[in-house]
Each structure stands twice: as structure tokens, then as C-alpha cells.
Amino acid sequence: VTAAPVPDHVIDDLAARLGPSSVLRPEDGLDAYDLPARPVPGTGRGRALCVARPRSTAEVREVLSWARRHRVRVVPQGANTGLVGASTPPPDQRVAVLSTELLAGPPTVDPVDRTVVAGAGTRLSALDAALAPYGLWLPIDLAADPTVGGMVATNTGGARMIRHGDVRRHVLGVEAVLADDAVTVVEDLSTLRKDNAGLDLAHLFVGSAGALGIITKVALDLDRRPRARATALVATADPGHRLTVLFEAHLGEHLSALEAMSAEAVSMASEARGLRVPFAGGPPPLTMLVEASTTAAGGPGVADLEALLAGAVEAATSDGLAADAVLAPPGEAWALRHALTEGLRRHGQVLGFDVSVPRRELGPFRAEVRAAVAHWVPRAVVADFGHWGDGGIHCNVVLPATDPASEDERRRIREIVYGAVAARNGSFSAEHGIGPLNADLWEQHTPDGARALSRRLKDLMDPLGVLGHPGLPYGEPVSG
């Protein structure tokens, strides 16, 4: 559907409401908003009608009033680092971008309560800089630098979730603006931890992908920064879940990451980035990154944590689960882990799938996907890695850049992966959330009652359907 063109006076009306400097038009150059900040296969250049950059909650209300009045759909955008296409405007519809980048004043830190209230447009890096002097952090470890509003709308997970949880676990409150008739401001910014005084509306917006309201401010529960860390890289054949259970039992509350990297992923990354593989025989079938950490000033030091890790590895070795292991400095171990995505990209065409399965299914899932891909697309290489401790797998299938997948092969690989996920009651979107790139999977895999209620919530909170990417699965697109 190509939408009717939008007359200039519509954008003029927005400029009149916000002030002309707060509205960017195509002739100003909108690349930063039209192009995803990270390459997202399946999403190309979008084309925004215009970009609204409100500076306050009141101005967000103005933008939504304007959108309702002119029936223009608004895509909220933070850092545009999302990986399912939800933050980038489509190329061919009358869609405006609401950028939260100016909703980013200095965060209000309460060091006694370990809480912060931050504008939605605050970058994770800026938040971290504000928290570090207090010895606090938001313990979400990511390959990108998103805004806190985007993180809440996506419910980001990351590599330290096994100890610290996802974004939802840290959300104490949200302020959001609805696109309903009253353009309601829902204010639920309490920073109290013990607070059960009514429905907790903040959680409605966690993972909502911008479909229910524009998040303007967020109140977050923080953790203390670690005082000591130690990491080990453990070489293993695929141990299924047994190594996970062993490390959890041995390390207990100290276990702060349990990541796995396939031989294929490690090879590509070390080749592309010149990183050293720490095992003499080259990368083993799986390299596990295990981190132990402490926030206790009176607790274990680095040497104690290393001894704890060594004890866990010894137990794993004597159970036949670990073939080799090295204590690596955390910087070196994480450099390898963080090099994987870029390493794969340099190697060829990457078909990426962000999925999860119950932990006991990790081994069978990998075996099934590998066998099926080898059978149907023999030149493709499965180079998977991910958050083993939480059942999360970045199941990447890599093809030569010179001989990429045909449409048919892409479809086949997609079917293999999502079929294997569905057969195990896994999730087709473990941490990237929902957007136009996986809306069809939501339709297929969400139970009827949950689908119906999701649509009705969307309709209640955004009755004209002006909010969020038009490719989101909730509700009908606005008629232009």
C-alpha cells in the first residue's frame, strides 16, 4: 500500500506546535533516522515524512495530538539499534519518526536507594557514566549503545542476565504518553521497591515495542558494580545442559555469565579480528565463557574467585564435561565473545536467528539445526553462540558473500530454525523483541487468547492506530 502524499501544511502544523528547530524534514537529511544504526538484514533505508524531536513530556503530547489529528503514524525511535526493524520507518508509508534523543537530561541518581530516574533518550553509555561515580550500574551487557527508553520497550537481556536479570527486573516505574483520545500521561515513576498500591502499569510498557505508548521517563533499580571478577574459557564438546547445571551449583550467586561460542563462530572471529584462540588444538566444538564476580567489599577477591572457577572446572573435567580450560583475564575473554558478531559479518552473509529453548533442549536443538542445514544447504555454516545459561542462542547461519542464499534457501533455513524452536516450546524472539521482521511468527506462535487480548490492549490505548511501526502485529494500520 502506498499512502497518499502528505501536504506540506501537515508538517508545518507540527513545526508550529514544537517550534521549527524541533522538526526535521527530508531536505534536512534524515539518514540518521532512516537507516538502522546496525546492519539489519531484511531492513533497508526507510523514508520518514519528518522527524519530531520533542524536549519534554508536554511536547510528546503535542506530537501525538498532531498524529491523531492528521492520522499520521508515528514510529518512536531511540538509538535505532533494534534488530527487528521496529525503530526504522518503512520506505513507502506516511510515517513520522518521534526521536527521543532530546528527552535526555542528566539522570537523577539516588545512591542510598540505588535507583535512577532517566529520560527515555538517555544512552546506556551516558547512564553508566552518571552511575559509575556512585559505584552503581545497570547491569545489562550489550553489543550496542541503546537508549533506556528503547531498552525498556524491547526488554533487552544481554550476557549477564543469568545473575542480574533482564531490563524488566530493573524497571521500577515508567512515564508514558498514550495516543488515546485524551493523550493521557501515565505517570508511574515511583522508585520504591516495595510498592503494591494498585495495578503496576509500568510493566505494561516493558517489551511493548512502542505500540502502546511513548515512554518518556524510566525509574530503574540499580545494582552495585562488581568489585572483583574472574573468567575462564572452557573447551568442551557440546555438553548439553550438564555443564550449566554444574556451574550454577558450584558458583551459586557468583555466577555472572555463562556464554557459549561454537568452533565456527570462534574461527571466523579470530580470523577476522586477529584474536588468539587460547586452546592449542584450535577452537573446540564449544568454548564456554564462565564469569564469577562479587560486589562484596568484605567478600572474595580475584584470587578467591579464580580458585572458585578452578574448582568448578576441576569438577567438570572429572565428570568428563570439560576437555581443557584456561583462566583468562576478563578483558581478553570478553573481547573474544564480543568479536563474534562482527567476525561473522566479515566472513560472509549472515542469516541470524535470536531464539531460546529450555536448557535441556540446547544440545538437541543444535544437533537438529546442524544436520538439517548440512543436508539442505551444504555450503552454509552454522556459527552459533549465545547465552547458554539462560537458554538463549544466536543461531547464525553463514554463507559465502560470493554465493549468498537464494530466496528459496533463506526460506528453507528459516523453516529449519523456527521449526526446531517451535518443536521445543522455544521462543522465536529471545531478546530482540517484536517488529516487522518477525510479526508473522507472532501470528503463528501466539496462543489465541493472548493474541486477542494483545490486540484489544492496543486498541484501548491507541484507538486510531497511530502508534508504532506499521509492521507490528497488533491492531490494524491507520488508514492514511
By CB under 8 A, what part of segment 330-369 binds a second copy?
356-360
Minimum distance of a second copy from residue 317's CB (angstroms): 14
Contact yes or no for 478/465 (Cβ under 8 A) = yes
Closest CB 374 distance from a second copy, rounded Å: 26
Instruction: Indicate which single residue of 230, 251, 265, 322 sits in contact with a second copy (rule: CB under 8 A).
Output: 251
Binding residues for a second copy restricted to 304-323, rule: CB under 8 A: 308, 311-312, 315
Which range touches a second copy (CB under 8 A), out of 12-20, 33-41, 117-125, 451-459?
451-459
Task: Give the Cα separation of 374 and 137 in Å (integer).
Answer: 43
Question: CB of 470 within 8 A of CB of 73?
Answer: yes
* Residue 165 binds a second copy (CB under 8 A): yes
Q: Is 473 in the site for a second copy (CB under 8 A)?
A: yes
Q: Please report whether residue 18 would count as binding a second copy according to CB under 8 A.
A: no
For a second copy, the closer of residues 17 and 445 by Cβ is 445
Task: Write out the three cell numbers for 347.
Answer: 566472513
Pure H helices in 155-287: 161-164, 167-170, 202-205, 242-251, 263-273
**Which is closer to a second copy, CB of 23 or CB of 321?**
321
Candidate ranges 15-23, 204-212, 320-328, 370-378; the one touching a second copy (CB under 8 A): 204-212
Q: CB atoms < 10 A from the CB of 205, how many?
A: 26
Query: Which residues in 258-297 contact a second copy (CB under 8 A)?
Result: 294-297
Determine how many CB atoms are found less than 10 A away from the CB of residue 42: 14
Please state, in angstroms and rounded to a whole number, the distance separating the CA atoms of residues 229 and 215: 34
As a 3-state breakdown, the chain gives helix, strand, coil percent values, each rounded to 5, of: 40, 20, 40
Q: Which span (63-71, 85-93, 368-376, 422-430) binds a second copy, by CB under 8 A?
A: 422-430
Per the CB < 8 A criterion, the answer to whether 466 and 64 are in contact is: yes
Backbone conformation region of residue 418, classed left if phi is above 0, alpha if psi is from -120 to 50, else beta:
alpha
Q: Least separation, in Å, of the C-beta of 39 and a second copy?
A: 21
By CB under 8 A, which span of 20-28, 45-53, 241-249, 396-404 interacts with a second copy? 241-249
Give the nearest distance from C-beta 356 to a second copy in angstroms: 4
Instruction: List the one residue from 101, 141, 188, 384 that touches a second copy (CB under 8 A).
Output: 188
Q: Which of 274, 281, 298, 331 touches a second copy by CB under 8 A?
A: 298
Our CB check for a second copy shows the closer of 252 and 320 to be 252
In the complex, least distance from residue 127 CB atom to a second copy, rounded to whole angstroms: 20
- 254 binding a second copy? (CB under 8 A): yes
Nearer to a second copy, 352 or 391 (CB): 391
Comparing CB distances to a second copy, the nearer of 86 and 269 is: 86
Strands 397-400 and 381-382: antiparallel
Q: How many whole angstroms separate alpha carbon 460 and alpha carbon 332?
A: 50
Is there binding between residue 102 and a second copy (CB under 8 A)? no
User: According to the binding rule CB under 8 A, does residue 462 interact with a second copy?
Assistant: no
User: Whole-angstrom Cα distance, residue 323 to residue 308?
Assistant: 18
**Calpha distance 115→17 (Å, rounded):** 34
Task: Give yes or no for residue 441 binding a second copy (CB under 8 A).
Answer: yes
Cα distance between residue 153 and residue 434, in whole Å: 10
At 228 the three-state DSSP class reads: strand
The residue within the footprint of a second copy, chosen from 16, 58, 132, 249 (CB under 8 A), is 249
Q: Does residue number 414 form part of the binding site for a second copy (CB under 8 A)?
A: no
Which is closer to a second copy, CB of 88 or CB of 244? 244
How many whole angstroms separate alpha carbon 422 and alpha carbon 430?
13
Nearest to 207 by CA among 160, 153, 146, 243: 153
Name which of residues 368 to 387 contact a second copy (CB under 8 A): 387
**Number of shown-chain residues binding a second copy (CB under 8 A):** 98
Among 390, 417, 469, 470, binds a second copy (CB under 8 A): 390
Interface region with a second copy, contact rule CB under 8 A, candidates 22-30, 42-50, 190-198, 272-280? 190-198
CA pair distance 331, 329, nearest whole angstrom: 5
Single out the residue of 142, 136, 56 nearest to residue 104, CA to CA.
56
